[in-house]
Structure 1
């Protein structure tokens, strides 16, 4: 009977089933937390190809294809027969662990485990995908440790497909888990999410209601004007079309019935239409038109769009400030009701409102506009978008463009340069936004968080402009590590003092002649202070030799020797002849120091005797005057 020859797929299927039976003995409960290790299977993981037989798989690529087909068949059978909530579904986690071990041993494709996970995610509901993602998060470091370059595209495709299925409004936390998984799986310097070409998300279009005319309000306003002016002619009563023209042309100078400059309310208070935020219809359109600039900032390179942005931003910040002041001065009855609730309850409600204020898509209905404007979280979201746009504009100033000059990635470097006037406006607008964001509950903390994120984002912008150079250093080689360790040990080791270290003096003379060296050191001539006159001849000889010197080196040596002796002479003379130092100019003439000292009293007496003889009448008179003065001084 001829032997039955099994195909390679059937053979690998049987091998994988044997490994699954072994895994079920190790992990019977099928939990996700405990992963399977290589030692649980002995050496069977490393010899999967040998166990199938060399004749069935002629090439390594054929082995990879056979293992992939066998693993997919087993996965499909488990999914079809077992619910993900059942404990028996643990065999799926065991299969994924086994495939990971086999791929680490180079017995199958590196990304096979992620291919199976991608298939598994497509077959599950959102709740089932959460369980699958629990497995991915628990095995992230293990599955991404080896040969990530062959798995990164599969991870991106699987995660992006999952994000398309999720609702960012209802599955916000799950979306965050998916993003965090991708951020942790890829290295920091990976270019997968850098957007090197600087493309904008223009598909995210914000639609809102078109501005509509309000004929009733316009007509009532015009009637009030006419009643105040005393004009009741029907020809001067404006229609809805004329009121709409009034709202669009707020700079009209003539006061006519069809185009009045201001509308009079019922309480006789004038309301000028030149302030956009006072006109709900016009402010609504300008406010939501900001989203076009937020989604595509390069539109502002046209002067018309930039001027429109200035008007819209100024109107928005003024409106927000008005709303903030209005909330602070709200109805006292409401404030009384709030005081009855208690501080703890109010704080908890406020924290919950701010934490649950995420909106993946704004509701642009006109009926909800006033409610949205009154929401602090909504206003902060809008102003953060405006802050990002203003920072983009400030990056186009001449000073900022100099920092990015010469960068390699020209796709994110724009030729547009912001003018001085626009720069001043952007700087002032950023200051106004920063001031507003710091208001309200925890405003300073909120602004500090936003400012920190935007400051770090500037570093990413510079990195992108440089075409994203590698920021991850290669690992240190074993040779370099050994050399560095030896150098550190040598530097920290205790060093022995050498017998004759370099630069040291030879002290053998101290022991020569039965200790005569020490006696020589105790000679009084070595420690007694010399006299000033002892340097006189030596300084004179150095001066003479300096005049006779022939080369620069000899002159320099003589100058140094002469300067040393002059300094020592001055130091010794400072104790007894310090009063003569004002007669010495820069140490050039020390003759006054070497002259013998003369007693001043004796010199004064000798001068008196030589200048005035004894029989001189003038001298006698002066002596008598002096003595008479002395006598007068000592009288009481």
Structure 2
């Protein structure tokens, strides 16, 4: 049909012809069991060719005709897809997947037409919403792949301009599907849907934000109402009333006696003795008014001293009643009606359920801690090593098996049978879930005590909760107890706790972002001009020479060493480097002592004698420097003055501050002695001993004789020739023996003739 002929047709004729041709086209393109699913580009080419043959130009037509054509196309594709969905139950097993492919093909047609501008962008989601209502859950699981596979063509994540139009249609389609699914049997599919919804919208989109802070009050936990045995309660009440009556009677009698004694005293002072109270004349009307009020006050006081009914209720009721507060924290500020109130009907705190909540929380945490300790004892790690993931002496294999078992734990809804509570408490995954619930609730309530005050969401949801220092202290201590208990769970308690805390910190940031009206935090895209300028700057930096380094060799210490010794290559650094002499360390130590004394003298001059504190920072640095210099000097001296060190520190103990000075004096003395011996040795005449030079060894003489002016004795005899001595050092000794004589000096020099 040409465009000229279409304009001559009436609107009903145009819509009828369009519907007929579109149905024929969809029927001809139905996926057969033997054919494979068509790709999206082929669908776009097919629908483009169909529209060209149709010859209908919506851009030049009237607005009403354009909207009518869009409605016809959307209705035809929806009816064709729903007709295929209705046959799902009667379709054979081998033909079921081609049926799902044919439904997804209809969705591809609607998506292609929306991309070509012939349909609205939300049309695929509107059709999908009705399809989800027709198909079974397995069919919905297969058709949902259309959204996951076509995320690019659907232009996800959606821009902010389409969130209120196309985004709402997508949300309705996904919510219709979520409403049909079971949280226990279809949990994985629910996770797929939620993950897709999170990726379909930008991170700052307000569509998924709970701006009002509404709680999921529909998540109710039902449990049996186990009542406490009334015998014990009645006994407590009877004993309480008897004690109260006895106390009241005793109090009234004491007051009457005091009154009578006072009146008698006054009459005795006046000298008049009267007996106003006669037997049978007691004025009963004058007494009851005050005692009744006193009795009521005493009864109320005694009632407050009795333990709260919450503390004596069955643990089963205490444990499961906390789920109401977890689901709806507003119950802490406004007590619910008595029919739905989680606390006991006999609770004395009817004005505020917070005291009962505190009792229940403390009782549950204590019980969970006892279960953890029991588990440690059964596992053989009662010393608290469970947080490390160990199990006795079995090693890493046990830890891997335990962690692998935890990966399969999933509890969509608690089982609240009284007979199962003991087994649930023995399960570490169950205890961890309860402890995490405590952390989530406490983090929400701790915002009430924030330095800047509670946020708008928390303030509006908990308006009547009275804040005081006692509650804040209880929250902090209970928070620490829950964290301690969570860390002690096995296996990997520390790692598990850190993961939970990281998630809670992100949740806290998310709440603060909502309190500030969801301020946009995504950055705008970089413009082309900025990209070009960045590219030019990067090329300039790549070609420019590198800037000079602050240190020529890389580090200050290495640069100083390099410049000090005029090094030119790294090989020159090999080998032992010469150390500073002992005199250099002694000079530095003397300078440090001088600086310390100057510091002390200046401080005491300004503040008085003895005013320098012992922990003065400058004096501490000076002491550290002197200790370092002393150690380095001793380390250097240990290589050359080992005998001197032994005599110095073993035979003659020396104070630590005088180590280097004593060593330096000993070194100077030794140098003087060596110099004197060298001079004395040089002043001696040359000693020559005659004998056969070829022997090279000492020959034994037979008798003593004089050789070149030196008296030489035979074996067993010796002659020492001494010159002037200085101190304890001998100038020269000559010892000769045998026929070949050797002249020897005291410093070890040997002269051969």
| 2:211 corresponds to | 196
Identify the range of structure 1 (183-192 vs 478-487) with the bigger mean alpha-carbon deviation: 478-487
The reply on whether 1:65 has 2:71 as its aligned counterpart is yes
Q: State the 1:22 CA deviation.
A: 6.2
| 1:382 corresponds to | 434
Contact 1:276-1:282 at 8 Å conserved across structures: no
Contact 2:213-2:457 at 8 Å conserved across structures: no
Q: State the 1:343 CA deviation.
A: 8.6
1:469, 1:17 → 2: CA distance?
A: 51
The reply on whether 1:41 has 2:46 as its aligned counterpart is yes
Q: State the 1:47 CA deviation.
A: 5.0
Q: State the 1:311 CA deviation.
A: 0.7
Equivalent residue for 2:353, pick from 305, 320, 338: 305
| 1:545 corresponds to | none
TM-score with structure 1 setting the length: 0.60
| 2:146 corresponds to | 135
- The one of the two structures with greater contact order (alpha-carbon pairs below 8 A, sep at least 6) is 1
Partner-residue secondary structure (3-state), 2:144: helix
1:50, 1:308 → 2: CA distance?
A: 76
Partner-residue secondary structure (3-state), 1:329: helix
Q: State the 1:331 CA deviation.
A: 10
CA change 1:318–1:71 in 2 (3 A) is same
Equivalent residue for 1:462, pick from 490, 512, 522: 512
For residues 120-157 of structure 1, give each alpha carbon's deviation from its aligned partner in whole angstroms, at most 9, with x where no partner exists: 21111111111112222212232244674332112211
Equivalent residue for 1:421, pick from 457, 465, 470: 470
Partner-residue secondary structure (3-state), 1:361: coil
CA change 1:484–1:50 in 2 (3 A) is farther
Instruction: Give aligned pairs, total.
Output: 442
Larger Rg: 2
1:376, 1:428 → 2: CA distance?
A: 23
Partner-residue secondary structure (3-state), 2:183: coil
| 1:284 corresponds to | 316
1:29, 1:409 → 2: CA distance?
A: 58
Partner-residue secondary structure (3-state), 1:74: helix
CA change 1:455–1:30 in 2 (3 A) is same
Identify the range of structure 1 (40-49 vs 162-171) with the bigger mean alpha-carbon deviation: 40-49
CA change 1:48–1:247 in 2 (3 A) is farther
| 1:436 corresponds to | 485
Equivalent residue for 1:397, pick from 425, 436, 449: 449
Partner-residue secondary structure (3-state), 2:147: helix
Equivalent residue for 2:417, pick from 360, 365, 368: 365
CA change 1:306–1:249 in 2 (3 A) is farther
Q: What is the Cα-based RMSD across aligned positions, in Å?
A: 4.3
Alignment of 1:569-588 (within 5 A): none
| 2:188 corresponds to | 173
Equivalent residue for 2:325, pick from 293, 304, 310: 293
Alignment of 1:49-448 (within 5 A): 50-51=55-56, 59-81=65-87, 83=91, 85-145=96-156, 148-149=162-163, 150-214=165-229, 241-245=230-234, 282-301=314-333, 304-330=352-378, 350-351=402-403, 353-401=405-453, 411=460, 418-439=467-488, 440-448=490-498
Q: State the 1:364 CA deviation.
A: 1.7
Equivalent residue for 1:18, pick from 6, 9, 25: 25
Q: State the 1:195 CA deviation.
A: 0.9
Q: State the 1:293 CA deviation.
A: 1.5
Contact 1:409-1:464 at 8 Å conserved across structures: no
Contact 2:212-2:457 at 8 Å conserved across structures: no
Partner-residue secondary structure (3-state), 1:143: coil
| 2:499 corresponds to | 449
Partner-residue secondary structure (3-state), 1:325: helix
2:239, 2:535 → 1: CA distance?
A: 79
1:164, 1:179 → 2: CA distance?
A: 12
CA change 1:19–1:278 in 2 (3 A) is closer
2:367, 2:200 → 1: CA distance?
A: 44
Contact 1:201-1:295 at 8 Å conserved across structures: yes
Q: State the 1:189 CA deviation.
A: 0.8
Contact 2:447-2:453 at 8 Å conserved across structures: yes
Equivalent residue for 1:476, pick from 526, 533, 544: 526
Q: State the 1:35 CA deviation.
A: 3.5
CA change 1:246–1:139 in 2 (3 A) is farther
Q: State the 1:93 CA deviation.
A: 1.9
Q: State the 1:188 CA deviation.
A: 0.8
CA change 1:130–1:284 in 2 (3 A) is same
1:207, 1:39 → 2: CA distance?
A: 54
CA change 1:401–1:46 in 2 (3 A) is farther
Partner-residue secondary structure (3-state), 1:59: helix
CA change 1:425–1:4 in 2 (3 A) is closer
CA change 1:206–1:43 in 2 (3 A) is closer
Q: State the 1:176 CA deviation.
A: 1.0
Contact 1:251-1:274 at 8 Å conserved across structures: no
Q: State the 1:357 CA deviation.
A: 3.0
